[in-house]
């Protein structure tokens, strides 16, 4: 179905926002820490037209349900449409007077694969509404507006990474974002002879559930017990760990603090042109997420082990955890071998066949019809 067939007119424009892969820096964003994501070529496209009746009407080429909302307020709508309508609510709450719109959504990004399909949807709608209503918002602020839609309209307490990646990334670069100051830098991601292979483990995650929120709460509790604004502020890990009695809080703290260090180390290596060396940091990040933060899942652990065994320089789970994707840094001539090894390991366990995707660091959200 085309926009014209659904709405009886053409769209005013077409906008697109990408999903992301986080190279490294997992569960650090809501601890005021550092992240290093890059945007994927895959994402969400929104065709949109202004409406003067104030109504939001939504269709998706990937979903049967449609949605019509007169006055977006939290709780007024659920499901996928909440991510889109929530952005209109959040823009208005931030004082930006956007009116209604007819929207048609099309995505080439798998949902629940840990590649930020929700942030891509939010950001595509955000740039579309801003352009339709001539609202000028600096991108870092637009990322916060989209995050607020997810936090307060959808009800998922995510950090700022995914929306920032979708809005701020540039082609050929990873985005170093300091989630406390909001400052960011583009770090060249020159893959020379290496492939960033995304392995969709086919174990779908659902972040609106409690695992993510409980990790976030544990980090906040640990920071409070340490008398710090956030775990970002831990400068002496040994001393901090000795002050925490609860072994769970100790493990969570250990992950966050060491993960921030790994981001800094990865940036140093990338800037020095030593991309292959980043592999060891990826694997260290995975082990920390598996053993200290406890958000990995069996399919991810097997994908990481098999990739490394078959020649990847390193691999790790990406995103919030409990399902989704793994990223492996693989010498390009080893990619077939890695794919075969992971697929064979899944088949022998009777797990669904993994999906593979070669990730190219791509451009952030933009208008695409002109």
DSSP lists the bridge partners of residue 13 as: 48
**Shortest reach from residue 216's CB to ligand GLA, in Å:** 8
CA distance 85 to 33: 29
Task: Report the residue number, 231 or 335, with the smaller CB distance to ligand GLA.
Answer: 231
**Nearest-10 Cα torsion for 318, 116, 144, 52:** 180
**Which of 45/166 has CB closer to ligand GLA?**
166
Q: Is 9 exposed, middle or buried (0-12, 13-18, 19+ CB in 10 A)?
A: exposed
Nearer to ligand GLA, 12 or 220 (CB): 220
Binding to ligand GLA by residue 110, rule CB under 6 A? Answer: no
Per the residue annotation, which of 12, 131, 134, 162 is the catalytic one?
A: 162
Contacts of 308 (CB under 8 A, 6+ apart): 283, 314, 315, 328
Which of 32, 57, 122, 162 is the binder for ligand GLA (CB under 6 A)? 162
Two structure tokens written together for 362: 């791509």
Q: Is 158 in the site for ligand GLA (CB under 6 A)?
A: yes
- Which tokens hold the place of 153? 């309209």
> Over the range 222-238, which residues count as b (16 or more CB within 10 Å of their CB) and which as e?
bbeebeeebbbbbeeee
Residue list 173-212, contact with ligand GLA (CB under 6 A): none
Two structure tokens written together for 120: 């891509």
Residues in contact with ligand GLA, total (CB under 6 A)? 10
Cβ closest to ligand GLA, residue 58 vs residue 158:
158
User: Min. distance of Cβ 102 from ligand GLA in angstroms?
Assistant: 28
Segment 299-358, which members bind ligand GLA (CB under 6 A)?
A: 319-320
H-helix or E-strand spanning residue 268: helix 247-271
CB of residue 297 vs ligand GLA: minimum separation in angstroms?
14
Tokens of 136: 């000028």
Would you give the binding string for ligand GLA spanning residues 9-48, x where CB under 6 A is met?
A: -----------------xx-xx------------------
User: Is 293 an interacting residue with respect to ligand GLA (CB under 6 A)?
Assistant: no
* 162 among known catalytic residues: yes
Binding ligand GLA (rule: CB under 6 A), the pick from 103, 146, 161, 194 is 161
What Å distances lie between residue 153 and 38, 63, 146, 302, 353, CA to CA?
26, 20, 10, 36, 35
Where does this chain bind ligand GLA (CB under 6 A)?
26-27, 29-30, 158-159, 161-162, 319-320
- Catalytic (active-site) positions: 162
């Amino acid at each position: 179905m085309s926009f014209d067939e659904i709405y009886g007119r053409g769209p005013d424009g077409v906008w697109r926002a990408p999903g992301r892969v986080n190279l490294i820096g997992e569960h650090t964003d809501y601890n005021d820490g550092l992240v290093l994501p890059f945007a994927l070529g895959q994402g969400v496209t929104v065709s949109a037209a202004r409406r003067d009746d104030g109504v939001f009407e939504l269709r998706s080429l990937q979903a049967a349900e449609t949605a019509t909302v007169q006055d977006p307020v939290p709780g007024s709508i659920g499901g996928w449409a909440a991510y889109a309508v929530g952005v209109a609510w959040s823009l208005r709450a931030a004082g930006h007077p956007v009116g209604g719109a007819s929207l048609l959504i099309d995505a080439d990004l798998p949902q629940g694969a840990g590649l930020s399909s929700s942030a891509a949807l939010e950001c595509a709608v955000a740039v579309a509404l801003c352009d339709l209503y001539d609202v000028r918002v600096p991108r870092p602020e637009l990322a916060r507006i989209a995050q607020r839609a997810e936090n307060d309209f959808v009800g998922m307490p995510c950090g700022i990474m995914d929306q920032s990646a979708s809005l701020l990334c540039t082609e050929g670069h990873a985005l170093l974002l300091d989630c406390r100051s909001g400052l960011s830098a583009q770090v060249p991601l020159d893959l020379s002879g290496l492939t960033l292979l995304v392995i969709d483990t086919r174990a779908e995650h659902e972040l609106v559930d409690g695992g993510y929120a409980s990790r976030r709460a544990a980090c906040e509790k640990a920071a409070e017990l340490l008398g710090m604004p956030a775990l970002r502020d831990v400068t002496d890990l040994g001393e901090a760990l000795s002050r925490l009695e609860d072994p769970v809080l100790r493990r969570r703290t250990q992950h966050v603090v060491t993960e921030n260090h790994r981001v800094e180390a990865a940036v140093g290596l990338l800037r020095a042109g030593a991309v292959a060396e980043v592999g060891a940091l990826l694997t260290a990040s995975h082990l920390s997420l598996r053993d200290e933060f406890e958000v990995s899942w069996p399919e991810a652990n097997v994908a990481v082990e098999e990739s490394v065994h078959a020649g990847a320089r390193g691999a790790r789970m990406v995103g919030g955890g409990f399902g989704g994707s793994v990223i492996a840094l693989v010498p390009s001539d080893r990619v077939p071998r890695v794919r075969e090894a992971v697929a064979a390991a899944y088949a022998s366990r009777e797990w669904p066949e993994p999906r593979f995707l070669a990730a190219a660091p791509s451009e952030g959200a933009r208008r695409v019809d002109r």
